[in-house]
Amino acid sequence: MRHNGVLANLYCILFAVFMLAPIVVVIGVSFTPTGFLEFPPSGLSLRWFRAILDNPDFIDAAILSLQLAAASATISTVLAVPAALAIGQGKFPGREALLALLMSPLMVPTVVLGIAFLRFLTLIGLSGSFTGLMLCHAVVVMPFVLRLVLASIVGLDRSVDRAAISLGATDWAVFRRITLPSILPGIVGGWVLAFITSFDEVTVTIFIVNPSTTTLPVRLFSYIAQTTDPLVASVSTMAILFTVVLMLVVDRLYGLDRLLIGEGKR
Amino acid sequence: MSRPYLLSAPALALFGALLVAPLAMTFVLSLNSFDFYEGISSTFSLANYAEVLGDAYFYEIFGRTFAIALVTTAFCALLGTPLAYFLMRMNPFPRSIMVLIVLGPLLISVVVRTLGWAILLGNRGVINTFLLDWGLIERPIRMMYTSGGIVVALTHVFVPFMVLAVWAALQRQDSATEAAAESLGAGPLTVFRRIVLPQAMPGILSGPLICFSLAASAFATPALLGGRRVKVVATTVHDEFLNTLNWPLGAAISMLLLVSILTVMITWNRYVETRVGRAYA
């Protein structure tokens, strides 16, 4: 193992400052006692956190975002696992095309996805509905689940499957007792990443929400676009806090780098 | 025999109904015409494309968008590549902290991160206040509502992807190769140039592509930091759809964005394939 020199360490510190600066100022501003965005805050006050309670719009949006993220991550995972089994375990005509299609939401600009969803949902009468949002988000987050589940399937030892089948196990029993337990970390990791992606999604969502189904990022976006008082900072701080807790749990359980690189092994 | 098809059928059905069909319909929409009084009529013509391609206003928007994306990509590559290399050489504990700092922001909403940059870059923002207090400048530097401000914020948003790409490539390398080169008498610079760099190349070449395509289609950051003054393609599409309500024109602009990004991706991939293919031949 080789180590970095002084300059390299300095570079890392400066890089860390760059990455943390915008997040630190948002958190700092949210504790300000004044009525405008001020950093460093001239005092410490929880005034703007109390203000969240007086703005049910933000709380409703947060609850909707949580429900939406949980629902779309679940749908996406339920559909991605069998597809990943097909792609990861077999060679069949159209396999590459199927994989490319399911990963394509990463390639198509989100703004294009947004208007395509809007056009379609308007025509079938689901525009602005929770069902519409949920299905669209399921499409958007699918690549994240698929990549992680696939990574965990690729490393599987198929001889265990064959042994079980030779002993009379059905396909379902093989899946439930052998495959599922061994790919479970990938599935859980994929679900969490899908959940976070859906929870934070703004560009696609902004096109397909209506005032009664506005998600937290969209609500924050419109609020910042019109006015900026420290309320947006305190709401943001709560969202950061939520993400950090989720992140630490994932890092302990699964490894943040593994989750984001999407590789089965380190 | 039909097992893989059965297993993938549900996902395919969702994608067929909610991705393929809507994209096809958006293309059809881009051929329709729009009238302020009569709305969208289902005539088919290339009039919208002609309008976009024949108007200097749209050239400016497309040009600005790709310029911002290009500069952002360059920053991401220049800043992210060394960091990935240093990350590899860190001890496990500081490395896990650094990984949290670098990758963690990916999981925080772009809107929240952009708010942070607005607080930093504003005329009475953190950076200007600091510089004024120290007497380094006399008047605030305008950073909000400029392309430069957008580039800085977008670099912050996308540089983790660059770090991930290079890091993933470096992790595949066998650390024994560095030791072997050293034992054969190679200096640090030679080791870096002949051993580390070639192995990091797939990441150094694939990372910028991700950054570019994401930056060219970014919406929230340019919308909040650029406002109406610095319009990019994504914010223009948003305006056409939700303010002007000229959906066919918006659809045509977005189709042009899609095609130009896909063209860049395919061209770059070809280049990378021949380039990396040659390097490993």
Q: What confidence score (pLDDT) does residue B280 get?
A: 58
Q: What is the pLDDT of residues B135-159, one digit of tens each?
A: 888 888 888 889 999 999 999 999 9
Distance of CA A162 to the CA centre of its chain: 36
Nearest to B14 by CA among A214, A172, A208, A72: A72
Res B42 pLDDT > 80: no
Question: What are the start-end ranges of the E strands in chain B?
Answer: 33-35, 39-41
Say how far residue A136 (Cα) sits from the centre of its chain.
14
- From the list B12, B24, B37, B10, the residue with the least C-alpha distance to B246 is B37
pLDDT of residue B186: 82
CB contact under 8 A, B255 and A37: no
Pair of tokens at residue A59: 């709380």
Q: Which two tokens stand for residue B126?
A: 């953190």
Give the whole-angstrom CA distance, residue A136 versus residue B19.
8
- Give yes or no for residue B121 having a pLDDT over 90: yes
pLDDT, block means (10 residues), chain A with 266 residues: 81 96 93 81 84 90 96 97 91 90 92 95 91 96 93 83 86 87 88 92 94 92 88 92 86 76 50
d(CA B131, CA A25): 16
What is the percentage of chain B residues whose pLDDT exceeds 70? 97
Q: Report whether A182 contacts A152 (CB < 8 A).
A: yes
Q: What is the mean pLDDT of chain B?
A: 89
Is the sign of the CA dihedral A16, A20, A24, A25 positive or negative? Answer: positive
Closest CA to A189 of A156, A155, A151, A145: A145
The residue among B7, B111, B254 with the most chain A CBs within 10 A of its CB, best to mutate, is: B111
Give the pairing of strands B33-35 and B39-41: antiparallel
**ipTM for the whole complex:** 0.90
Nearest 5°: the CA angle B107, A208, A135 is 70
Task: Please give the pLDDT value at position B179.
Answer: 80
Task: Identify which of B90, B101, B112 has the shortest CB distance to residue A26.
Answer: B112
Q: Å from A105 to nearest chain B CA?
A: 8
Residue B19 has pLDDT above 90, yes or no: yes
Report the percentage of chain B scoring pLDDT > 90: 54
Cβ separation of A83 and B79 shorter than 8 Å? no
Q: Cα B124 vs. chain centroid, distance in angstroms?
A: 29
Indicate yes or no: pTM above 0.95.
no
A217 and B22: CB-CB below 8 Å?
Answer: no
